[in-house]
Chains A and B, each alone.
Chain A
Amino acid sequence: DVKVTQSSRYLVKRTGEKVFLECVQDMDHENMFWYRQDPGLGLRLIYFSYDVKMKEKGDIPEGYSVSREKKERFSLILESASTNQTSMYLCASSLTASRSYEAFFGQGTRLTVV
């Protein structure tokens, strides 16, 4: 069973803080993703990575950065958290050799910035 684990289910941070969201997958997947989910907007891609140390911007990268130093771990960084970054964050991974590239998701981190 593929497992994607996000370090926190709920997080409350103050405006201006540097925030790290961690994601680990245990199935040797090449691709990893960070999405943000907001009511009425669905899931929007922030960043993705197709290999160690490689990263690509998604649709809404502003205010975020990422780090992938090891294949199994993909971190999302909010350099200076703002209230408009209050959201649900979902990490996912997928295997390039899979016919469908289906993405497996973590349980999500609900971040509140106050």
Chain B
Amino acid sequence: AQKITQTQPGMFVQEKEAVTLDCTYDTSDQSYGLFWYKQPSSGEMIFLIYQGSYDEQNATEGRYSLNFQKARKSANLVISASQLGDSAMYFCAMRYSGYSTLTFGKGTMLLVSP
């Protein structure tokens, strides 16, 4: 069964500090994709970053980077220089090869304090 695990229900960080949100996944497939989404209190899901299982380099998008450790089956999101606007729920998700659907973890609530 496909499974995404986010072990941190909530995280606190001070503005301008870096924070790592954990995500582990379970698969025996070799080809898959990993995603992170942000959901502010307004409710919309915002795509942040993507990592393909065959990508040799860790994905980066501005202040977001994905720490991909294939052997450990982890895909942690690193947010550098946190901002107040980063306060939101963050979801890790996975797409398996040949499928268009995403399987989501339960999410981590990030609160950034001044």
Residue numbers of A with Cβ under 8 A of B are: 9, 30-31, 33, 35, 40-45, 48, 50, 58, 88, 90, 92, 94, 96, 99-108, 110
**What does the 1/0 interface line of B65-105 toward A look like (CB < 8 Å)?**
00000000000000000000000000101010000111111
Q: How far is the CB of B47 from chain A (nearest CB, A)?
A: 5
Chain B residues closer than 8 Å to A100, beta-carbon distance: 33, 35, 50, 52, 95
Chain A residues closer than 8 Å to B91, beta-carbon distance: 42-43
Flag whether B45 is at the interface (Cβ < 8 A): yes
A102 touches B43 (CB 8 A): no
**What does the 1/0 interface line of B42-64 toward A look like (CB < 8 Å)?**
11111100101000000000000
Asked, given contacts A43-B91, A99-B52, whether A106 binds B104 with beta carbons under 8 Å apart, the answer is no
> Pick the contact of B106 from A31, A42, A94 — CB < 8 Å?
A42
Interface residues on B, range: 20 to 34
Asked, given contacts A100-B50, A100-B52, whether A105 binds B44 with beta carbons under 8 Å apart, the answer is yes
A41 and B50 alpha carbons, distance in the complex (Å): 22
Q: How far is the CB of A114 from chain B (nearest CB, A)?
A: 21
